[in-house]
């Protein structure tokens, strides 16, 4: 039996990490010398490696906050005041160096230190799972293509290509992608979730996720701006003409939700050892610890899976209309990125910095179903952590918004006004009032603030033609993911094996 084990060192206050190996080697020397008293062994370790770091408590004053938002109405001012309260709580956490809020900022929960939508933080050597939220890697993806038929017919094809609502795809209608066969499933945060990942491919969920059809006018000026910015490949792919565009918005579905759940549990455990009186929403993982490294790796896989999910929907749509992709653009807005010495966390914040090649990052910013999706080049404005907004945001909660339409007549009028001139489909049945344009901030004001605060450059606008949203299925907006039954898991394995055998026969 070892003199001291991993748990003993953690209980003594030492943080798991690379030096544990050296500590165990030293403990082996102590044992070889006949030392058997645990307290004495810990005393010797302290002489050799120093005393454990003291627990880190909340700061007396919050870290600096930059605000790229200008509230005008009373409703907007009340909203920003609530955002400031949440950021004040969050920025007292010792691992957070700076924070920023975007023009779309709004509170995301009632708990202490819950990062608002439109919030971004720079974190020192740590990952805070709740700061990217359970909808890990919620993201945008656009495919430009040549018009094939009417908007109505293309929306019919899009309806068949995607899926919305709680749960997952029917097991007779699963979609395969090679991303499922990546060797990642031994990662502690991904273990046992391949079937879940398979069941959710080509699946968009509910809430504000959407599939949007639009059109964009590419001009010689558009191409010149892209070329000067370093995106010569995109500029060359797009001719000066009008294109149709499919834009999808969704996250990583049940896969990401469970990665977050496991990451949050690990973060709570870590922070209980390393921190003092830290709010649950601010619990962190040491990025250099084994758990932190594995969580980072799991997040990178979730990002690849989510992009494959977007592409699966776009591919299925293009196959149905007999079209082909001319160009693609995409970005995450609920995620963690590493820049220099910091881990940048965005909750509904679009990366707007320069990429590894020094080019301004391309991003997509939707506003609402009746407004264009903006194609932007990031301004890399470090004053605001080099982020831009991810959309128009809300001034009122969904519940408060619905209270403004108490009867059938007012609801019908809001729906007609919000969808006028557009082909809007509600996949699960009834319209969702909380996703109408009236639910969101003024789009023109958000665009103006992008320019005012120097967050990004708008290079093109994808004008709306129609869209598909989940709609109201008569259930709470955010259903918990249903667990796969043992029978469903067996069915998935059976189909996987049958596909493998068919592939071997073809080869």
Selected residue with higher pLDDT from 116 and 507: 116
Segments making up each domain of the chain, as ranges? 6-53, 139-248+299-325+362-499
Highest CATH level, class, for 139-248+299-325+362-499: alpha beta
User: 420-432, pLDDT tens digit by residue?
Assistant: 899 999 999 888 8
Q: Residues 278, 93: contact at Cβ < 8 Å?
A: yes
Average pLDDT, integer, range 441-469 = 96
Place of tokens 């050892």: 273
Mean pLDDT for 394-407 is 83
Q: In this model, does residue 319 exceed pLDDT 60?
A: yes
- Residue 398 vs residues 107, 206, 236, 435, 436: alpha-carbon distances, Å: 12, 14, 43, 9, 11
Mean pLDDT across the chain, nearest whole number?
Answer: 91
Alpha-carbon gap, residue 180 to 137, rounded angstroms = 17
Measure Cα distances from 311 to 153, 163, 421, 466 in Å. Answer: 20, 14, 28, 20
Return the pLDDT at 430: 86
**Beta-carbon-side half-sphere exposure of residue 493 (alpha carbons within 13 Å):** 9
In the structure, what pLDDT confidence band is assigned to residue 499 with cuts at 50, 70 and 90? low
Q: Are the C-beta atoms of 239 and 218 separated by less than 8 Å?
A: yes
Instruction: Assess contact for 334 and 132: CB atoms under 8 A.
Output: yes
DSSP annotation of 48? H
At 92 the pLDDT is: 98
pLDDT in tens, 70-94: 999 999 999 999 999 999 999 999 9
pLDDT of res. 145: 98
* pLDDT tens track for 135-187: 999 999 999 999 999 999 999 999 999 999 988 898 889 999 999 999 999 99
Can you tell me whether residue 435 is helix, strand or coil?
helix
């Amino acid at each position: 039996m070892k003199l001291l084990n991993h748990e003993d060192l953690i209980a003594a206050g030492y943080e798991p990490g690379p030096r544990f190996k050296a500590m165990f080697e030293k403990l082996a020397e102590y044992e070889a010398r006949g030392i058997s008293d645990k307290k004495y062994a810990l005393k010797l370790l302290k002489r050799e490696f120093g005393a454990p770091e003291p627990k880190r408590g909340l700061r007396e004053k919050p870290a600096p906050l930059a605000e790229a938002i200008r509230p005008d109405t009373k409703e907007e001012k009340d909203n920003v005041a609530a955002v400031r309260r949440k950021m004040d709580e969050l920025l007292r956490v010792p691992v957070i160096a700076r924070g920023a809020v975007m023009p779309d900022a709004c509170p995301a929960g009632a708990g202490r230190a819950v990062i608002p939508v439109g919030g971004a933080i720079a974190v020192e050597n740590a990952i805070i799972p709740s700061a990217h939220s359970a909808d890990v890697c919620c993201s945008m993806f656009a495919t430009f293509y040549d018009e094939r038929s009417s908007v109505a017919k293309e929306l019919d094809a899009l309806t068949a290509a995607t899926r919305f609502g709680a749960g997952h795809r029917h097991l007779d209608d699963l979609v395969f992608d090679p991303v499922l066969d990546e060797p990642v499933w031994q990662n502690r945060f991904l273990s046992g979730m391949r079937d879940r990942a398979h069941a959710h491919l080509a699946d968009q969920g509910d809430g504000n996720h959407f599939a949007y059809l639009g059109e964009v006018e590419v001009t010689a000026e558009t191409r010149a701006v892209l070329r000067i910015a370093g995106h010569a490949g995109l500029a060359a792919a797009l001719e000066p003409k009008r294109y149709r565009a499919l834009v999808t918005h969704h996250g990583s579905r049940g896969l990401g939700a469970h990665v977050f759940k496991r990451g949050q549990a690990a973060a709570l455990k870590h922070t209980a050892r390393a921190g003092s009186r830290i709010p649950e929403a601010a619990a962190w993982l040491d990025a250099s610890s084994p758990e932190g490294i594995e969580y980072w790796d799991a997040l990178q896989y979730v990002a690849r899976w989510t992009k494959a999910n977007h592409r699966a929907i776009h591919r299925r749509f293009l196959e149905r209309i007999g079209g082909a992709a001319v160009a693609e653009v995409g970005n995450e807005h609920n995620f963690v990125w590493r820049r220099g010495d910091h881990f940048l966390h965005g909750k509904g914040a679009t990366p707007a910095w320069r990429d590894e090649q020094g080019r301004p990052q391309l991003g997509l910013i939707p506003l609402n179903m009746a407004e264009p999706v903006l194609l932007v080049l990031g301004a890399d404005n470090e004053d605001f952590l080099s982020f831009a907004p991810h959309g128009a945001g809300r001034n009122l909660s969904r519940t408060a918004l619905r209270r403004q339409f108490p009867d059938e007549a007012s609801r019908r009028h809001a729906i007609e006004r919000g969808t006028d001139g557009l082909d809007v489909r509600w996949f699960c049945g009834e319209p969702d009032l909380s996703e109408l344009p009236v639910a969101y901030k003024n789009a023109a004001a958000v665009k103006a603030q992008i320019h005012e605060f120097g967050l990004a450059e708008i290079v093109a606008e994808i004008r709306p033609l129609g869209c598909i949203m989940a709609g109201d299925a008569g259930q709470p907006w955010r259903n918990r993911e249903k667990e796969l039954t043992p029978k469903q898991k067996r069915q998935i394995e059976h189909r996987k094996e049958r596909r493998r055998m068919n592939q071997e026969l073809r080869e």
